[in-house]
Structure 1
Amino acid sequence: MSMISARWSRLALVAAVSAGWVAAAQAELPAQQQEQASGWFRMMVGEYEVTALYDGYTTLDTSLLSGMEQDEILRHLDALFIDAESGVQTAVNAFLVHTGENLVLVDAGSSACFGPTLGQVEKNLRASGYAPEDVDTILMTHLHPDHVCGLADENGDAIYPNAELRASQDDADFWLDKERSQALPEEQRAFFTMAQDAVAPYQESDRFSPFEQGDELLMGIVAQDTHGHTPGHASFMLNSDDDSMLVWGDVVHNYGVQFADPSVTIEFDSDPEQAASTRQAVLESAVADKYWVAGAHMPFPGIGHIVEDSEGYRWLPIEFGPVSSDSE
C-alpha cells in the first residue's frame, strides 16, 4: 500500500469512528423536559416572610379590554414582545405571609375551576416548605373563582382545615347571597355558585368572618378599600419595621396595557368606572410611597415596584436574590 493510500485509510477510519461517536451521543440524548420548577418565590418585608405561590396561568383575549382601540392595545403589547394574536398569557398568583405569629394566605387560586393550566397553589405551598394545616388565616381580596376555588377540594372539603377565612362584608353580601344568585339567568350564576361552594365548608365550621374595609385584620395587616373590580374588592397593606407591601389582588389584569393607560378596564369589572378610578389612585400611591406591590395577575412572582414613565406607569419586577430584609 502506498503512503498516500495509507494516509487516506487512516483518515477514513478516524471519520468513521467520529461518526460513530456522534451517532451514539445523539442516540443517548434525553428528550426535552417540558416541566418547570416549583412555582414559589420568597422575600422579606421587614420581619414578615412573603412567599409568592404560582397557581398557573390562563389566556385572556384582548377583546375583554375596553377603553382603548384594539390596534393600540396590540401596539402596547408588541412593544413588550407579547404576541396577543391567540390571547395574552395571564398569571394567577397567591401570597403566603409569615408574620412570626400567624401564617396568612392571601387568595387561594383556582383549583380545578379553570382547567389544567391552573390549580397549583396547594402544591406550591407544600413545595415551599409549609402545609395547608399550618395556615391559620386566609384573606380574600375578592370572591372571583380564580381566587376562591382553591379553598376547597373536589369533594367540597376545606383544603385549609385550621384557617379562619375572611373576605370583605360587601363582597360576601354580593357573592354569597343565594337568593340573589338564583334570580339571575342561568349563564350568570356560575361565578356565584363557585364562590358559594368554595366558602361553604368554612361557613359550616364557623370559620368564616367578614371584615370591613380599613380594619386591621392582624398586627401590621390592614384591609384597604379597592372596590370596583368587585363590589367589595380589598387589598392588604403589610407593614413591618420600615418596609411595606400592598397585596393588591386584581387592581391590574393586563400590565402591558393598563400601566400605560389606567383607564382601560376589563369585562370582569363589576363597576368599570370605579375600577379605573381605584387603579389610578393605587398607582399614584405606589409611586409616591415606593412600597412593594404584589399582584395576582402580574407575571410570576408578581412582586415589584411601580414608577412613572412618559406614557403612564411602568412595572419594575423584583430580582431573584437572597431572602432578607435587604432584598429590595
Structure 2
Amino acid sequence: MTREFLKASRHALSALAIAAAAASTLLAPTAAIAAAPAQQKTQAPGYYRMALGDFEVTALYDGYIDLNQGELLKNVSAPDLKKLLARMFLGPTVQTSVNGYLVNTGTNLVLVDVGAGKCFGPTLGTIQDSIRAAGYQPEQVDTVVITHLHGDHSCGLIGADGQLAFPNAELRTAKSESDFWLSEEVASKAPKQMQQFFKMARDSVQPYIAAGKFHPFQGRTELAPGLIAVPTPGHTPGHTSYQFSSKGETLLVLGDLIHSHAAQFPRPKIAIQFDIDSPKAVKTREAIFAQAAKNKTWLAGAHLPFPGIGRIRTEGSGYAWVPVEYAPIVGGK
C-alpha cells in the first residue's frame, strides 16, 4: 500500500511540475507585448465648465507663458519670495496660464479676454480651439469684453487670416484704457520697450473700429443683464474686472489683478513689474480681495492656474486660494 502510494505521489508531483512549467511559459511576457503603447503627450481639451445660478461659465485655456516671478515680483525680499514660491512647490520661473472666460447668460454669449493670438509664440493662441472644444463657435459670441489691452488679452481679436476672430461680436473696453493704448501721442512718449505693446493694441482693435463694432464705456456700468464692469485700475490705466451675477451667485473675472497665486494671495502688497501704477494696483487688489473674502465671491484670474476659478479665505494677514473642484454641472446632461 505504501509503495503504491509513493508511486502515485511521484506521478502526481511530476504532472504538477509539467503543468507549472507550461503555465510559466504561458505567463511569461513576450517581446510582442512587453512595450506599452506610445505616450500621447497631449493634454485634455482646454476648457472647464461650471454653473453660476442660471449662467453657464466656461473657462478657456489659451496656453501658457513662462514668467520668472523671482525677478518680476517686487515689494518683497528675495528670500521671502523664494519661500512663498517653495510653499507651492514652485521655482523662480513659473509656467503661467493665460485664460479667458465664456459666459452664456441665456441672453448673451459673452467672452472675457481673447488670449494672445499669434503675438507671443507657439505656446499661446489656442483660445478659438478651446471655444470649439467646449461646444461653441467663435461666430456665436455676441459680446467681447477686454479687461485691458495688453497683447496676451487682446491679440486674439484677430484671426490667423487677419480677419475679425469674432465677426458677430461687439467689442467693449473701458474708455480710459482705449484712450491710453490707442493714442499715437501717448505711444510716442512711451519708453522704446513699450512701443510694441501699443502697436499690438492698435492692430487688434482697429479692425473692430473700422467695422463699427467697438464701443468703449466709462466707469462702473451695466453692460448686459447680469454683467457689470468694475473699474480695477493700476495694472493699466483703465484695467477693468467683470462681475457676473445670477440667482444670488457672483463671479468676478479679475483680469491681471493678480499674476502669482503663490505670492500675491498671501501677500497682496506684492506687485509685478508689468504694473503701470504699482501703488494703485496694490490698493485695488487689497480692496477687491477683502470684499471677495467677506462675500465668498467666486473669482477668476487670467493668470491663475487653469481653470483659474476659485474663492479666497482670510489666512493670517493675507488670503488663501481655494480652487474650484472638478464636478459635473448639477442638472446637466
Q: Same fold by TM (over 0.5)?
A: yes
1:81 alignment partner, one of 85, 89, 97: 89
Matched residue, 1:41: 48
Measure the CA separation in 2 of the matches of 1:164 and 1:11.
Answer: 75
Matched residue, 2:230: 224
Measure the CA separation in 2 of the matches of 1:182 and 1:67.
Answer: 30
Measure the CA separation in 1 of the matches of 2:116 and 2:331.
Answer: 30
Structure 1 residue 213: Cα displacement:
1.6
Structure 1 residue 15: Cα displacement:
4.8
Structure 1 residue 325: Cα displacement:
8.4
Measure the CA separation in 2 of the matches of 1:63 and 1:213.
Answer: 33
| 1:216–1:223 CA contact under 8 A, matched in 2 | yes
Structure 1 residue 154: Cα displacement:
3.2
User: After superposition, what is the alpha-carbon deviation per residue over 1:254-288, rounded to whole angstroms, capped at 9, x for unaligned?
Assistant: 01000111110001000000000000001000011
Calculate the aligned-residue CA RMSD, in Å.
2.0
| Structure 1 residue 71 corresponds to structure 2 residue 98 | no
Matched residue, 2:107: 101
Structure 1 residue 156: Cα displacement:
2.6
Measure the CA separation in 2 of the matches of 1:184 and 1:282.
Answer: 29
Structure 1 residue 80: Cα displacement:
1.4
| Structure 1 residue 56 corresponds to structure 2 residue 52 | no
Matched residue, 2:3: none
> What are the residue-to-residue correspondences of 1:179-190 with 2, within 5 Å?
179-190=185-196
> What are the residue-to-residue correspondences of 1:255-274 with 2, within 5 Å?
255-274=261-280
Measure the CA separation in 1 of the matches of 2:296 and 2:146.
Answer: 24
Structure 1 residue 111: Cα displacement:
1.2
Measure the CA separation in 1 of the matches of 2:284 and 2:169.
Answer: 30
Q: TM-score, normalised on structure 1?
A: 0.92
Matched residue, 2:298: 292
The alignment of Structure 1 onto Structure 2 pairs a total of residues equal to: 321
| 1:119–1:150 CA contact under 8 A, matched in 2 | yes
| 1:47–1:325 CA contact under 8 A, matched in 2 | no
Matched residue, 1:112: 118
Tell me the amino acid that sits aligned with residue 315 of structure 1. Answer: W
Structure 1 residue 106: Cα displacement:
0.4
> What are the residue-to-residue correspondences of 1:125-136 with 2, within 5 Å?
125-136=131-142
| 1:48–1:240 CA contact under 8 A, matched in 2 | yes
Structure 1 residue 51: Cα displacement:
0.6
Measure the CA separation in 1 of the matches of 2:308 and 2:16.
Answer: 64
Q: Which runs of 5+ in 2 are unaligned?
A: 1-9
Q: Which has the larger radius of gyration?
A: 2
Structure 1 residue 23: Cα displacement:
2.4
Matched residue, 2:309: 303
Structure 1 residue 127: Cα displacement:
0.7
- What SS class does the counterpart of residue 306 from structure 1 fall into? strand
Measure the CA separation in 2 of the matches of 1:174 and 1:92.
Answer: 23
Matched residue, 1:177: 183
User: After superposition, what is the alpha-carbon deviation per residue over 1:163-207, rounded to whole angstroms, capped at 9, x for unaligned?
Assistant: 000110111011111233134454321111111111111111010
Structure 1 residue 18: Cα displacement:
3.9
| 1:45–1:325 CA contact under 8 A, matched in 2 | no
Go from structure 1 to structure 2 and tell me whether the alpha carbon gap of 1:67 and 1:325 turns closer, same or farther (over 3 Å shift).
Answer: farther
Measure the CA separation in 2 of the matches of 1:257 and 1:177.
Answer: 34
Measure the CA separation in 2 of the matches of 1:155 and 1:31.
Answer: 35
| Structure 1 residue 208 corresponds to structure 2 residue 226 | no
User: After superposition, what is the alpha-carbon deviation per residue over 1:106-160, rounded to whole angstroms, capped at 9, x for unaligned?
Assistant: 0001112111211111100011111011001000111111100111023431100
Structure 1 residue 17: Cα displacement:
4.7
Q: What percent of counterpart residues are identical?
A: 45
User: After superposition, what is the alpha-carbon deviation per residue over 1:14-35, rounded to whole angstroms, capped at 9, x for unaligned?
Assistant: 555544x3422124x2111110
- What SS class does the counterpart of residue 236 from structure 1 fall into? strand
Tell me the amino acid that sits aligned with residue 56 of structure 2. Answer: E
| Structure 1 residue 156 corresponds to structure 2 residue 162 | yes
Measure the CA separation in 2 of the matches of 1:44 and 1:115.
Answer: 33
Measure the CA separation in 2 of the matches of 1:47 and 1:38.
Answer: 24
Measure the CA separation in 1 of the matches of 2:234 and 2:176.
Answer: 11
Q: TM-score, normalised on structure 2?
A: 0.91
Measure the CA separation in 2 of the matches of 1:131 and 1:233.
Answer: 27
Moved over 3 A (4+): 2-19, 182-186
